Amino acid sequence: MCYFCNPLQVSGLYYTMRELQFREALREAMQEEMRRDERVFLLGEEVAEYNGAYKVSQGMLAEFGAKRVIDTPIAELGFAGIAVGAAMNGLRPICEFMTFNFSLVAIDQVINSAAKINSMSDGQFTAPMVFRGPTASAGQLGQQHSQAFENWYANTPGLKVIVPSNPADAKGLLKSAIRDDNPVIFMESEQMYGNKGLVPEEEYLIPIGKADVVKQGSDVTLVSFGKMMLRCHTAVEELAKEGIQVELIDLRTVRPIDYDTVIESVKKTNRLVIVEEAWPLASISSELAYMIQRRAFDYLDAPVQRVTTQDTPLPYAPTLVEAFLPTVSKIAEAVKAVSYRG
């Protein structure tokens, strides 16, 4: 179920809506952009013959052929380097990592090549490309397959980093990412691929770097992105029963961050809670908290609260997984801690 998508905010127009899974929305974005621009192609492990590890690219090999939907060896550094070279030479690759945990094998190409080539070449080369795939925890997958690296990549000048929370945003943002002339990190949750939501049939783009005010409220500003938006929405509904009206903001993009939207909300509510599925040290939430106290300190009536994962590797036992992650109850408690109604 899609709780937050409000496609009317995309351009102020009315759209014909239909329900799609998250994976279907991503697939439509890639298909539409590949039909529109023959320079766009997809490469990665199992994206072609197997239709994608999570069936995001299902049917794309049959439509576009093996020259534009390319199965690669299990060699992330190698195929990421091929993608960067292709982008530098005028193509627009979509490079899929089976999980962003595996992107660490290729991180030299992402950070030292794709992110820096425009600066190092004094603008003679660009790397218009998308690195996409699943991020963060997905149940009992172990410590090496359950990590969130949004803040790692967002720390790198030259990259844009997108983490959508619903099918409509996923499609509109991925289309914008594919058309962008900069390298874009596009991170999806494994646990959201089957989620359904309303998506416009007509052509639409969502601008990179613009947050979405999902729900208006007057008491506390609650900010998150990606999969954690689902838990935030549930917490907001429960808090409303207690009379606490939360303003819920989906960042959508964590580089660039839409500070202005958050600041305007804090000026109204005077309170801020940030939820993130990542370790607390040097996180997106710590950066946002710093910027709010720097630019909106006089409007705060309570300290900024953060809800993050525990500062440990992810445990394997299901009870410990839940204890490790931000939960609805933890989010609600943080909101109550800053709310004058709490």
Active site amino acids: 76, 145
Both tokens of 42, joined, read: 């997809």
Task: Name the strand (E) or helix (H) holding 215.
Answer: strand 212-215
Q: How many CB atoms lie within 10 A of CB 225?
A: 29
Both tokens of 18, joined, read: 């239909």
Quick one: which of 164, 181, 178 has its CA closest to 230? Answer: 164
Long-range contacts for 52-58 (Cβ within 8 Å, ≥24 apart)?
52/23, 52/96, 53/98, 54/23, 54/134, 54/190, 54/193, 55/23, 55/193, 56/23, 56/26, 56/27, 56/30, 56/96, 56/193, 57/27, 57/30, 57/96, 58/23, 58/27
Task: Name the strand (E) or helix (H) holding 293.
Answer: helix 284-295
Quick one: which of 184, 77, 188 has its CA closest to 136? Answer: 188
**β-pairing, 160-162 with 253-255?**
antiparallel
